[in-house]
Structures are given as structure tokens and as C-alpha cells.
Amino acid sequence: MSILGKTLLRFCQLRTLMVFVEHIQTCTELPTEAVLTSTAVEKPPFDWPTAGAI
């Protein structure tokens, strides 16, 4: 592989790592989800499903 090829390869790898870091940073700065306030959670019957289908 030529010097130019190796340089381009390293540049692409570096760019990929930089984008990865940017994505991680963006994900860590996302606002948290709101707390679940609904208490009306309906559970399915104990014997549901009985036929292996919904």
C-alpha cells in the first residue's frame, strides 16, 4: 500500500472515531424521560394466552 493510501486509511479511521465520540456526547446530553405518573396499569389475566396466540 502506498503512503497516500495509508494516509487516507488513517484519516478515514480518525474521522470515524471522531464521529463516534460526537454521537456518544450527543447521547449523554439528551434530556431524561419524564417519570411515569399513570397508576392504571392493567395486567393480562393469569391464564392468558391459553392457545399460544394473542
Claim: this prediction has a pTM higher than 0.75: no
Domain boundaries, the chain: 1-39
- The pLDDT tens digits for 3-54 are 999 999 999 999 999 999 999 999 999 998 888 777 777 787 888 777 776 6
pLDDT of the residue at 28: 93
Ramachandran quadrant class, 36 (left: phi over 0; alpha: psi -120 to 50; beta: rest): beta
Rounded CA gap, 18 and 44, in Å? Answer: 47
Q: Which helix (H) or strand (E) holds 13?
A: helix 3-28
State the pLDDT at residue 54: 66
